Chains A and B, each alone.
Chain A
């Protein structure tokens, strides 16, 4: 890289001045990191080892909160199970749906802009509002969905009032918002050089082979990104579950997600120590899962830049 004259002329004095102004520019964020990141994280860790109800000062109880959580709190396991069920279905379905949609949209045919707009629209709806719309549409007695099901001869389903169907309904709600990741996939698809696909076609690869051996490998970095974002956001599902099931996870605790359990422990029961311990567990779960995904990346993610060095 060419070194400009201005850079050459830079001496110790200017450098010190630049460092000073650099620190001034990032100063607000330094404050935020201390006040709204470091302090809260350390405090949550400390509180998780105490009994604390906000009114009386925290009382040190060691690992008692964690012991309670794992052995004496059935709602903990219920909520972990619900969140795991939700994540294990919502994430793969969301990824597959978004990728499929992006493949459909990835053409130069006319009118694609309209479809792109339509699939982006649900992302704009506030989660509280979208959940309310879905509650009405999935009404077990007279909702639109059951009316349609019955019209094609399928049985009506209890949806959000039936513990077996409430989570699938929440998953369908999450799929309504898959436009965001579909558009990211689409951007990734449009990065793929057409020459590569043409070359494969000339060598006799059919559409399926081209997808499997050219498109998909080149798309793996985008899949990695969408996978990580999807897992993190599904671990944090809260608003939709609270609107559907309240703090008790109606019906029959089936929508009691992990975040709802933390919320009620902290801000309904004001058991801040116990809630802090639950929050630490969520933090660790997010860390471990992201780490595992990133660790596995070298097996299945294809990076163009590292093609030579890998072998």
Chain B
């Protein structure tokens, strides 16, 4: 915010009074701003705090009155118990999540880079119409797609496997095609023209010249796709049946359905489901915030 009240006051009669008001406002506005920001920050952090302390509490302490603001004793063993809970192996769920999100992320980046490049830099008949269709498919609710593909995968005998969740990612995703196309459009045409004159094929131009140039965009796409897949709940819910295959989100859901009272373990498992993403976030904060402003991440 810029305050030009000083110049303004020359046009008014009561110079000094306005100036004094302006001076106090100059200090007051940033102060109010900071008070509000601190309040918002606390409100946003409280659920994390609550999750962390509950994960380390004795189960009887979580809902004790008066509130216990710190776990005493600190039950570190909750974490181990959650990791190896009989029937709910959260360590296994963790590996499943890494596998699932890793595969989808890899497939999405590979396919969408190629397709995005095709849309951005190569001319072929029907290209613009095809791209318009691609963008408009983003409006189709997932459930419209899920019902027939569920039937399809059932007849292919692939229910209860990760194939329905991973294979489609290798064929592309409208959103990431759109995102990466934008980045390929920004690369100067001269670079690929020069390579073409030198006799490089389209594939080599793509692989050796263009991909390295859009690496920041590929990173953003990989992180976003990883996080979204990590959060994914609906797909695993309808496709997976054996509990040993569950990713974390589905494992958490199943655990909560059966063990409604073991809140400390539930919170330890929730922490486990959140922590890897927080670590990735802090390692790659820059690309992440960039990606978020580029696109907007939405839950569910």
Q: Smallest distance from the beta carbon of A244 to chain B beta carbons, Å?
A: 10
Task: Please tell me if B27 contacts chain A, counting CB pairs below 8 Å.
Answer: no
For chain A, the bracket of interface size reads 35 or more
Q: Among B70-78, B81-89, B213-221, B245-253, which stretch is in contact with chain A?
A: B245-253
Over the window 122-143 of chain A, the binary record of Cβ atoms lying under 8 Å from chain B Cβ atoms (1 yes, 0 no) is: 1111111110111011010111
- A126 & B124 in contact (Cβ 8 Å cutoff): no
CA distance A72 to B300 in the complex (A): 30
Task: Please tell me if B37 contacts chain A, counting CB pairs below 8 Å.
Answer: yes
- Report A-chain residues with C-beta under 8 Å of the C-beta of B2: 194, 197-198, 201
Q: Smallest distance from the beta carbon of B150 to chain A beta carbons, Å?
A: 8
- Report B-chain residues with C-beta under 8 Å of the C-beta of A254: none
CA distance A20 to B122 in the complex (A): 9
Please tell me which one of the listed residues A32, A142, A283 contacts residue B171 in the complex, with CB atoms under 8 A apart: A32
CB contact list, B113-137 vs A, under 8 A: 114-115, 117-119, 122-125, 127, 130, 133-134, 137
CB contact list, B150-170 vs A, under 8 A: 150-152, 154, 168, 170
- B231 & A126 in contact (Cβ 8 Å cutoff): yes
A-B contact count (CB 8 A): 291
- Report A-chain residues with C-beta under 8 Å of the C-beta of B30: 107, 109
- Report B-chain residues with C-beta under 8 Å of the C-beta of A184: 292-293, 296
CA distance A31 to B300 in the complex (A): 27
| A-B contacts besides A32-B168, A121-B44, 7 pairs, CB < 8 Å | A4-B193, A23-B118, A25-B117, A28-B171, A104-B40, A183-B292, A238-B233
- B7 & A202 in contact (Cβ 8 Å cutoff): yes
Contacts known (A4-B189, A7-B193); A142 close to B65, Cβ less than 8 A: yes
- Report A-chain residues with C-beta under 8 Å of the C-beta of B293: 183-184, 186-187
CB contact list, B272-300 vs A, under 8 A: 273-274, 277-278, 281, 285, 288-289, 292-293, 296-300
CA distance A229 to B201 in the complex (A): 40
B residues apposed to A, CB below 8 Å: 1-4, 7-8, 11, 30, 33-34, 36-37, 40-41, 44-48, 50-51, 54, 62-65, 67, 111, 114-115, 117-119, 122-125, 127, 130, 133-134, 137, 139-152, 154, 168, 170-172, 177, 189-190, 193-194, 196-197, 201-203, 206, 227, 230-231, 233-234, 237-238, 248-250, 252-253, 256-257, 263, 266-267, 270, 273-274, 277-278, 281, 285, 288-289, 292-293, 296-300
- A283 & B144 in contact (Cβ 8 Å cutoff): yes
Contacts known (A6-B196, A177-B299, A202-B7); A276 close to B147, Cβ less than 8 A: yes
CA distance A211 to B157 in the complex (A): 59
Q: Among A40-48, A74-82, A296-304, which stretch is in contact with chain B?
A: A40-48
Please tell me which one of the listed residues B147, B194, B297, B300 contacts residue A236 in the complex, with CB atoms under 8 A apart: B300
CA distance A39 to B139 in the complex (A): 16
Pairs across A and B, CB under 8 Å, 14 listed: A22-B127, A28-B111, A40-B147, A107-B30, A109-B34, A121-B278, A127-B231, A127-B233, A132-B252, A137-B47, A197-B2, A229-B296, A236-B142, A238-B233
- B50 & A279 in contact (Cβ 8 Å cutoff): no
- Report B-chain residues with C-beta under 8 Å of the C-beta of A267: 150, 237-238
- A44 & B44 in contact (Cβ 8 Å cutoff): no
A residues apposed to B, CB below 8 Å: 4, 6-7, 9, 15, 18-26, 28-33, 35-37, 39-41, 43-44, 47, 54, 101, 104-105, 107, 109, 114-130, 132-134, 136-137, 139, 141-144, 147, 174, 176-177, 179-181, 183-184, 186-187, 194, 197-198, 201-202, 204, 207, 225-226, 229, 232-233, 235-240, 242-243, 246, 259, 262-263, 266-267, 272, 275-276, 279-280, 282-283, 286-287, 290
- Report B-chain residues with C-beta under 8 Å of the C-beta of A4: 189-190, 193
- B270 & A132 in contact (Cβ 8 Å cutoff): yes
CA distance A274 to B93 in the complex (A): 34
**Which residue on chain A has the smallest CB distance to residue B248?**
A126
- A283 & B44 in contact (Cβ 8 Å cutoff): no
- B118 & A233 in contact (Cβ 8 Å cutoff): no
- Report B-chain residues with C-beta under 8 Å of the C-beta of A130: 47, 299
